[in-house]
A = this chain, B = another copy of it.
Amino acid sequence: MAQSDTVNRILDAAEVLFAERGFSETSLRMITSKANVNLAAVNYHFGSKNALIQAVFSRFLSPFAKNLEAELKRVSERHTDKPIDIETLLGIVTSCIVMVPAQSKTGVSVFMRLLGLAYTQSQGHLRKYLEQEYSRAFKMFMKHMREATPQLTSVDRFWRIQFMLGTTAFTMSSIEALSDIIENEMQVHSSTEEVVKRLVPFLAAGLQAPLQN
């Protein structure tokens, strides 16, 4: 199968380069030369650069959404009486994220960095695509989140979830650079797992912070 090999080589190269440099700053020529394929291959297999960007996202977001929906459904069937608590809910999300790289070859940090880019780079087509493609999984997650935080108004809950997402995406995307800094300045080694351990209490405390009036 020469076809799928070329397609995957393009996706692999694009994924890394997009994560490193952003979308506009990554040219098709960079991608194809890193993937060792012909320049025209991108337009032949994907149709356009925008379609390639969407394909990069759906390759890791589709398994993640599928995992998440399945896991949420599974756990909620055992919680028919009481809602799922926050810690369990966050645990489900993180475990589903960690599951994806095991299936494909995408690293967690690349995963999160791309997720962050999708949010910050105002690529209109991407945002629309993601919204209509994964709205079901997102709404499902939000439903359980709503039940787990009844003390919050819907507006406060929305924003705090965004804060959480932002913190995670940003930290994960810059984790290598920050680890280097801290290793130089304090002679302490920080693995991704250790950073996540530090991150979770931060997020949980923020999410449950007293409301300001």
B171 touches A166 (CB 8 A): yes
Contacts of A204 in B (CB 8 A): 209
Query: Are B127 and A160 closer than 8 Å at their CB atoms?
Result: no
Q: How many residues of A contact B (CB 8 A)?
A: 51
Stoichiometry, as copies per complex, reads 2
Which residues of A in the span 155-213 have a Cβ within 8 Å of any Cβ on B? Answer: 155-156, 158-160, 162-163, 165-167, 169-171, 173-174, 177-178, 182, 186, 188, 190, 195, 197-212
Q: State A127–B180 Cα separation when bound (angstroms).
A: 12
Q: Does A120 lie within 8 Å of B127, measured CB to CB?
A: no
A176 vs B25: C-alpha distance in the bound complex, in angstroms? Answer: 23
Residues of B within 8 A of A195 (CB): 159
Q: Please name the residue on chain B nearest to A198 by beta carbon.
A: B159
From B120, B154, B160, give the contact of A116 (CB < 8 A).
B120
Give A125 Cβ to nearest chain B Cβ, in Å: 13
Q: How far is the CB of A203 from chain B (nearest CB, A)?
A: 7
CB-contacts of A7-29 with B (<8 A): 20-22, 24-25
- A residues touching B (Cβ–Cβ < 8 Å)? 20-22, 24-25, 116-117, 119-122, 127, 154-156, 158-160, 162-163, 165-167, 169-171, 173-174, 177-178, 182, 186, 188, 190, 195, 197-212
Q: List 19 A-B contacts (CB under 8 A).
A: A21-B122, A117-B120, A119-B177, A120-B121, A154-B186, A155-B190, A156-B198, A159-B195, A159-B199, A162-B174, A163-B199, A166-B166, A166-B167, A166-B171, A166-B174, A200-B212, A201-B209, A204-B209, A205-B209
